[in-house]
Amino acid sequence: MATPDTRTQLLDAAEHLFAEHGYRGTSVRAITTRAGANLAAVGYHFGSKAELMAAVVRRVIEPISAAQRAGLDTVLARTSDPSVGELVEAFAGPLFDRMSAGGEGGARTSRLIVTILSDPAEEARSWTGPGEDTVREGYLAAFARVLPGLSPEELRFRMRGMLAVTAVDRLEVHQQPTPGCTSPVAGEAARRWAVTFLAAAMSAPPAPG
Amino acid sequence: MATPDTRTQLLDAAEHLFAEHGYRGTSVRAITTRAGANLAAVGYHFGSKAELMAAVVRRVIEPISAAQRAGLDTVLARTSDPSVGELVEAFAGPLFDRMSAGGEGGARTSRLIVTILSDPAEEARSWTGPGEDTVREGYLAAFARVLPGLSPEELRFRMRGMLAVTAVDRLEVHQQPTPGCTSPVAGEAARRWAVTFLAAAMSAPPAPG
DNA sequence: GCCTCTTTCATACGTTCGATTGAATCATAC
DNA sequence: GTATGATTCAATCGAACGTATGAAAGAGGC
């Protein structure tokens, strides 16, 4: 196994540290030290710390987005009237795959996504690209067809809830669990739980009022 | 209206800034400047930046926790077999009340809670006290009685999902919304949407497998 | 060997941070 | 008035931060 080049080692180290300590909580020095590289390497390969973060996020998000897009295409190719559960599975499933694949990569991914979503830093706005938005718009349209009774606003609220559940889910598993919490659950079980939970939520009739 | 004392002004300013820029993204200097106080005031009144944050969180969380506890007591005093919707309403409702009360206090509260939940900083572990845990344990027990088919692990997963939806919900509303998103929704509508969404999710049969 | 382009290196710069200090100011009681 | 305790103030500390620089080292073609 040839040692990967400096650029890749920086991405790996940064992904670890950003996920664990957040963007502001991670120093460029910590990243380069972990990567076994020189302090100036970040500047040389990425330009700045913010651009390194953007590269890390892109590397993590893009396969997930692609899987979501492919899943939606597959479902819609089979039938023009899919079930809510199928759509939920296609949307939420890819967010669990890294974890199911073994190791703690999934928890790290989850943590990183939460960091992206919740980091109030200015730079965070440019971390995700337009690709993710179009995927979400695609699911939005599909759900809108399947759930005709919902107002666009309420549907958007539910989409956001879906994202929240899948992203935040593993948060307390990876860091220390709430007292009394059992051992970290396997990714496969969490995936089933999430799909069940979210399919029921998405299928609910519109709120009264 | 007499100007509040320095200590209170520091808490107000810190609540604003922590919610808007996160813990690490807020400097003590920014807080004291906004509060119209001297830089050393934080050290004098709270000891350190971390203890100031803990005080801010306590001031925000405690009324919510108390309302959740009271709501649970009220429900359980009326009947020993409440509906899932009643429990969801009692749990999630107080998280929306600040916003319904008017102004942007609710969004700020929501944002602050997300900061607490997702901030990877070391200090974050001590921001919430044992009071919040006992409230959650109370709801956990109540839901366990009403949803007997669920394993403790899956129930805990659902509780976490409930927290995620209520906390993350207003995130994108307060900061800039996803493109195409309509105007920020009123707190009252969001509350109904959340309760509907979550009641259906909590009521779902156990996941297969 | 030598030139060229890429990458790594040690080092430094300017800034910002949280915390601390000791003097100055204020309020209150005697 | 003056002593006392609480609070505010300007000023400064050392440490950590992101970034920039110019020299050194390496790789590949000729």
Cβ of A157 within 8 Å of Cβ of B190? The answer is yes
Residue B128 lies in a domain: yes
Residue B162 lies in a domain: yes
The set of residues, in sequence order, having a beta carbon less than 8 Å from that of A82 and lying 6+ positions away, is A75, A76, A142, A146
Other beta carbons less than 10 A from residue A31's beta carbon: 26
Rounded CA separation A60/A114 (Å): 13
Read off the amino acid at residue B157: F
Q: Suggest the residue from B150, B168, B192 to mutate for an interface test with chain A (most A CBs closer than 10 A).
A: B168
Bases of chain C below 7 A from a protein C-beta are 7-12, 16-22
Q: How many domains does chain A have?
A: 1
Rounded CA separation A73/A67 (Å): 10
Could you read off the pLDDT of A113-130 as tens digits, one per residue?
Answer: 777 777 766 667 677 778
Could you read off the pLDDT of A132-169 as tens digits, one per residue?
Answer: 889 999 999 999 999 999 999 899 989 989 988 887 66
Other beta carbons less than 10 A from residue A156's beta carbon: 23
Nearest nucleotide to the CA of A32, by C1', is: C8
Domain, as residue range, for B173: 57-203
Residue A16 lies in a domain: no
In chain B, residues 48 through 107 whose Cβ sits under 7 angstroms from any atom of nucleic acid strand C = 48-50
Rounded CA separation A12/B42 (Å): 38
Question: Is the shortest CB-to-strand distance from A193 to strand C under 7 Å?
Answer: no
Residue A155 lies in a domain: yes
Residue A61 lies in a domain: yes
Residue B156 lies in a domain: yes
CATH (domain of A98): 1.10.357.10
pLDDT by residue, tens only, chain B of 209 residues = 556 799 999 999 999 999 888 899 999 999 999 999 999 999 999 999 999 999 999 998 899 999 999 999 999 999 999 999 999 999 999 887 765 555 555 667 777 877 777 776 666 767 777 888 899 999 999 999 999 999 998 998 899 899 888 876 555 543 444 433 333 455 678 889 999 999 999 999 999 97
Residue A94 lies in a domain: yes
Rounded CA separation A180/A183 (Å): 9
Rounded CA separation B201/B160 (Å): 12
User: How far is CA B162 from each of CA A117, A125, B17, B168, B201, rounded to the nearest angstrom?
Assistant: 17, 26, 26, 10, 9
Residue B165 lies in a domain: yes
